[in-house]
Amino acid sequence: MTLETVVLTGAAGRVGSVLRESLRHRVRRLISVDRVPLVAEGANEEVRQAELSGAEDVASIIEGADAIVHLAGVPDEAPLDSLLVGNVLGTHDVLEAARRTGTKRVVLASSNRLTGCYPVKQMVSVEMPPRPDGLYGVSKVAVEALGRLYADKFGLQVVCLRIGSLEPEPSEPRHLATWLSPRDCAGFVWAALTRPDITFTTAYAVSANTRRFWELSDEIGYRPHDDAESWAQRLLETAQYFTGDQLQGGDYATAEYTLRHALE
């Protein structure tokens, strides 16, 4: 798939900041969008400050684009009404704008926390039922369902990436399973943008970690390079984390996490 213009929403966030540089070097024109001010980092990058409130607003930005990488939204546990507006309705606006403008390829930021209530001893595939570790994970179930709907009903090409723990390097035992290196993050997204013959697919975006929780899929054609195991000896209490009844979401899967962030 040849790409001339790509729109990146949520460009100021953790994932967006990693992707801006790699995308600028691969496409003729990158339109980076966020609700906070941005400064263009190259001659082929345009920046837009926008709230993306409604399909018409989104359509005015993505008109003429070949693809959109949608990262904007609420990034963590929050009250359900905030998650519905920021993640679910926001994703609907992007998909509807893509339908109206003829922007065929849409890459949606899903999350590993959609399956965070599976035990650490169980390998999980994208075919298995969701077991979200909180309301944030619930919102990502809805995001994937919207992507499936717009692929089936309106012919969009949609890739949902269940993004792992994007960090420069692993910093806690859970990252030995969930780490996503910046290099692999860029690789997964570029593959999701360019893989031919996509209708709808979901994939875990995680590095090739020896202890990973999730099956790697060949659907988008990218095989990760990095392995968190290289940092294992620097991390404390590693063995204890991968034993017992621990859930893959770790602290995210505790009742206290949701109560603290979303319900109190």
Q: Kindly list the structural domains of the chain, giving each domain's residue range(s) and its CATH number in brackets, ordered by start.
A: 5-263 (3.40.50.720)
Predicted confidence at residue 69, as pLDDT, reads 98
Q: How far is CA 163 from CA 63, 103, 182, 216, in A?
A: 27, 23, 11, 12
Annotated catalytic residue within 118, 136, 204, 222: 136
Predicted confidence at residue 243, as pLDDT, reads 80
Predicted confidence at residue 264, as pLDDT, reads 65
- Block mean pLDDT (10 aa), the chain, length 264: 92 97 96 97 96 95 97 97 97 98 98 97 97 98 98 98 97 96 98 96 98 94 97 83 88 95 78
Residues 217, 69: Cα–Cα separation, whole Å: 20
User: Does the annotation count 257 as an active-site position?
Assistant: no
Q: How far is CA 248 from CA 11, 103, 134, in A?
A: 28, 35, 12
SS3 sequence of the chain: CCCCEEEEECCCCHHHHHHHHHHHCCCCEEEEEECCCCCCCCCCEEEEECCCCCHHHHHHHHCCCCEEEECCCCCCCCCHHHHHHHHHHHHHHHHHHHHHHCCCEEEEEEEHHHHCCCECCCCECCCCCCCCCCHHHHHHHHHHHHHHHHHHHHCCEEEEEEECEECCCCCCCCHHHHEECHHHHHHHHHHHHHCCCCCEEEEEECCCCCCCCECCCCCCCCCCCCCHHHHHHHCCCHHHHCCCCCECCHHHHCHHHHHHHHHC
Look at the alpha carbons of 121, 221, 165, 131 in this order and tell me if their dihedral is positive or negative.
negative
Two tokens, residue 128: 């298995």
CA 209-211-214 angle, to 5 degrees, is: 80
Burial of 225 (0-12, 13-18, 19+ CB in 10 A): exposed
